[in-house]
Amino acid sequence: MAGQLISRGERTWLVRVFLGRDSEGKRRYHNKTIHGTKKEAQRYLNAVLRDVDAGVFTEPSRESLDSYLDRWLETAVKPRVRKRTHEDYSKALKRYVRPKLGTRPLAKVTALDIQTVYNQMLDRGLSAASIRYTHAVLRNALKQAVTWQLIPRNPADLVVLPRQERKEMQHLGPEEAKRFLEAAEDDSLYPLFLLALTTGMRPGEYEALQWKDLDFRNGTITVRRSLNNKREIQETKTAKSRRSIQMIPALSQALTEHKRRQAEDRLASTEEYEDNDLVFATARGEPLHHRNLVRRHFKRILERAGLPENLRLYDLRHSCATLLLANGVNPKIVQEILGHSIPMLTLAVYSHVTPNMQKAAISGLSRSLFGGGKIR
């Protein structure tokens, strides 16, 4: 008989299901004690039999969640991600998941357990972004446990996540961008800010930019690397992030002058110089300190230009994308310049520009068909 219900006393049943024979020919059984009515025990038996017939039944693992997460991080994560990503995964699990669920058997972690952890994080004032990141890590870990046939289903698939509010994007309009550049002209890092505003590169990308990435003859910049939070230069994460961007003539001219001045300063300096071939570097040749870049340069430029002090350095990237789209540049081209994975992501992030784009497009259609004017 494939499945049995054996009474073990009042409201206690042993569910036994034959799973076949092992490599040595010994009979294998799944045994589970159910406390409840015979009907509830029969329901569990029927569910197991269905999974066995479908070939998806997995004998629950007795391993603790802590033990499994250690194994997952070492076996499945470490070989395929960067060291920093591995550390971030480990920190999220150690900080939020392990203290609450680590000692629990992997097979007994439920959706309610996970939901409780997330709710407690929310009660502690943690952001929706932090909760969603923790969920992504835990969900991937448990997904691998399903693949390895340690658990039958992923309980993380059944939880409800807090809504993540998208912060309103800050960007400079055409006149504000001109004021910003005029105020930046006297700053020693003017070429950096001109580059940021006209190429849409991420701060980490131009902070890691090297002279060998610039092709002055063809007027292009190739993005290959990025500077992380530990001021370490590393390869960009995705293939789409590795891209070539056209320089405007003013940027090419500013960078040429910057290279000449950098070489002169290096020769005149008595400090030991660490040659990292960086386009933007400290007096010692090291990568710029992001905080100093913002405080000593960017914020002072904003003040001189009379622009909002809450603008971030990253908002120069947003400004570039917004200005390109507002000037009718195809979203596919903007996507390639920014290094987004797909054009739909670009349009989703910069949806505030699309109404005007639609008006311009329809006005053009109207003029071509009927000679009409602009749509207001």
The enclosing domain of 145 has a CATH number of: 1.10.150.130
- Kindly list the distances between the CA atom of residue 244 and the CA atoms of 209, 241, 359, in Å, as whole numbers in the listed order: 12, 9, 31
Domain co-membership, 86 together with 49: no
Contact 64, 102 (CB under 8 A): yes
What is the per-residue pLDDT for 280? Answer: 96
Tell me if 22 is assigned to some domain. yes
Residues present in the chain in total: 376
Taking the CA atoms of 291, 293, 297 and 302 in sequence, report the sign of the dihedral they define: negative
Tell me if 256 is assigned to some domain. yes
Tell me if 168 is assigned to some domain. no
SS3 state of residue 187: coil
What is the per-residue pLDDT for 351? Answer: 65
Domain co-membership, 14 together with 127: no
User: How far is Cα 258 from Cα 275, in angstroms, rounded to an integer?
Assistant: 16
User: In this structure, what CATH number is given to the domain that contains residue 280?
Assistant: 1.10.443.10
Domain co-membership, 237 together with 146: no
Task: Mention every residue, 6+ apart, whose C-beta is less than 8 A from residue 221.
Answer: 195, 199, 201, 209, 213, 214, 215, 244, 245, 247
Which of the listed residues 295, 312, 329 is the one where a domain comes to its end? 312
Tell me if 179 is assigned to some domain. yes
> pLDDT under 50 in the chain at which residues?
375
What is the per-residue pLDDT for 252? Answer: 96
SS3 state of residue 216: coil
Backbone dihedral angles phi then psi of residue 127, each to the nearest 5 degrees: -75, 160
Domain co-membership, 89 together with 44: no
Which of the listed residues 128, 158, 188 is the one where a domain comes to its end? 158
What is the per-residue pLDDT for 365? Answer: 57
Looking at the DSSP bridge assignments, the partners of residue 281 are 287
Domain co-membership, 249 together with 120: no
What's the N-to-C CA distance of the chain in angstroms?
Answer: 77
pLDDT in tens, 79-135: 998 888 899 999 999 999 999 999 999 989 999 999 999 999 999 999 898 999 999
Domain co-membership, 262 together with 197: yes
Tell me if 278 is assigned to some domain. yes
Tell me if 373 is assigned to some domain. no
Domain co-membership, 146 together with 180: no
What is the per-residue pLDDT for 352? Answer: 65
What is the per-residue pLDDT for 67? Answer: 95
Domain co-membership, 248 together with 131: no
Give the pairing type, strands 214-215 and 27-35.
unpaired
Tell me if 139 is assigned to some domain. yes
Number of domains in the chain: 3
Domain that holds residue 292: 174-312
Give the pairing type, strands 233-235 and 225-227.
antiparallel
What is the per-residue pLDDT for 30? Answer: 83
Tell me if 321 is assigned to some domain. no
